[in-house]
Amino acid sequence: MALLSRLSLLLLGLIFLGQTASAATCTLKKTRNHMMPFPREVVRVVVKTDTGVDSAQVSDVCGALWKGISTFEDACRIFGVGLACTQEAEGGLTWGFTTTGSCGGEIVEGVWKKATEGRGGDAKCEFSG
């Protein structure tokens, strides 16, 4: 009986661990946009997770991401270059876009968390290179 209860606890622990989302990676990279009449500094944003988003959810999550970031239109003007929201591997998702330098990591993190409902893990945005 004791062995059965230990196995039950172990199984519950494994189920719980399988349901926790890993952290998503979020990188912001400053670059110059030479496609505009006046070249200016822009930020390339890429958020990526390997777990938490089923293939049936990709369309809804991507829609929620684009809708969420559009509510910050004044700070996060999205340029039509390099737009992406795709499933990379089973359960994974990559969201990428180019925006103005005023679009901070906190905005991206909040939009990601709300759109994925925490399934994709929390994103902590950091500047690279």
Domain limits, the chain? 22-127
Query: Residue 3 has which token pair?
Result: 């062995």
pTM of the model: 0.78
CATH 3.40.50 fits 22-127, yes or no: no
Per-residue pLDDT of the chain (129 residues; tens, 9 = 90+): 454 444 343 333 333 334 444 689 999 999 877 666 666 788 999 999 998 888 899 999 999 999 999 999 999 999 887 899 999 888 899 999 999 989 999 999 999 999 999 888 899 999 986
